[in-house]
């Protein structure tokens, strides 16, 4: 079966940065719904017309991957309003933090704690791969029609390539 929009593909990959450092390697196939948020649009487009056994090498610039790094998505939050026991590298959901600590953050953001100081924490809502050019070696293992449930959810259940929520109007 040939890959078309709204079919499910089983993929493995090796994901590297532009320097050739491996960022992720998926050795066992995982299923993604083509044309949904399961995959970046550039990957969905590149897969079109291929069949099981196909191997693709993609070069994704930030605008085709996780976007450019946006300094407006980095926030200083008062340390006394942060959860107990936070550490650098932790992920925090905006909805779990006091609203006044990150008032300008887009709703639904996920922050990485990048630095901790006695008086404040640096919270970054950029995707961890924002601003990075990526090299992706993909292998197509399977192609099948999506189920009605997958089409209704607009997902095969895998969210590796899901992006942060879009900023609302008026948010930088």
Residue 108: the pLDDT is: 82
Question: CA–CA separation, 139 vs 54, rounded Å?
Answer: 6
Residues 6+ apart with CB under 8 A from 171: 104, 106
The boundaries of the domain holding residue 60 are 7-66+131-153
Residue 159: the pLDDT is: 63
Residues of the chain with pLDDT under 70: 159-172
Same domain, 15 and 61: yes
- What is the token pair recorded at 124? 């970054």
Residue 158: the pLDDT is: 72
Nearest to 103 by CA among 91, 94, 111: 94
Record the pTM. 0.79
Question: CA–CA separation, 52 vs 11, rounded Å?
Answer: 9
The 10 Å Cβ neighbour count of residue 91 is 9
CATH of the domain at 52: 3.10.50.40
Residue 104: the pLDDT is: 79
Burial label, 95 (beta-carbon count in 10 A; 0-12, 13-18, 19+): exposed
Please report whether residue 37 resides in a domain. Answer: yes
Based on the structure, what is the number of domains in the chain? 2
Residue 62: the pLDDT is: 96
- Per the CB < 8 A criterion, the answer to whether 168 and 107 are in contact is yes
- What is the token pair recorded at 58? 């993609």
- Per the CB < 8 A criterion, the answer to whether 92 and 83 are in contact is yes
């Amino acid at each position: 079966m040939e890959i078309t929009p709204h079919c499910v593909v089983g993929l493995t990959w090796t994901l590297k940065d532009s320097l050739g450092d491996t960022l992720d390697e998926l050795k066992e196939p995982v299923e993604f719904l083509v044309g949904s948020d399961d995959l970046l649009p550039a990957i969905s487009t590149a897969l079109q017309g291929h069949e099981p056994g196909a191997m693709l090498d993609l070069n994704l610039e930030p605008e085709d991957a996780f976007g450019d790094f946006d300094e407006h998505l980095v926030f200083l939050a008062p340390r006394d309003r942060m959860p107990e026991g936070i550490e650098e590298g932790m992920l925090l959901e905006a909805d779990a933090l006091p609203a006044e600590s990150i008032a300008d953050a887009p709703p639904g953001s996920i922050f990485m704690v990048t630095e901790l100081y006695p008086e404040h924490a640096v919270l970054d809502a950029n995707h961890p791969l924002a601003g990075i050019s990526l090299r992706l070696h993909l292998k197509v293992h399977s192609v099948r029609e999506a189920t009605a449930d997958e089409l209704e959810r607009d997902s095969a259940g895998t969210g590796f390539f899901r992006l942060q929520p879009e900023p609302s109007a008026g948010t930088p």
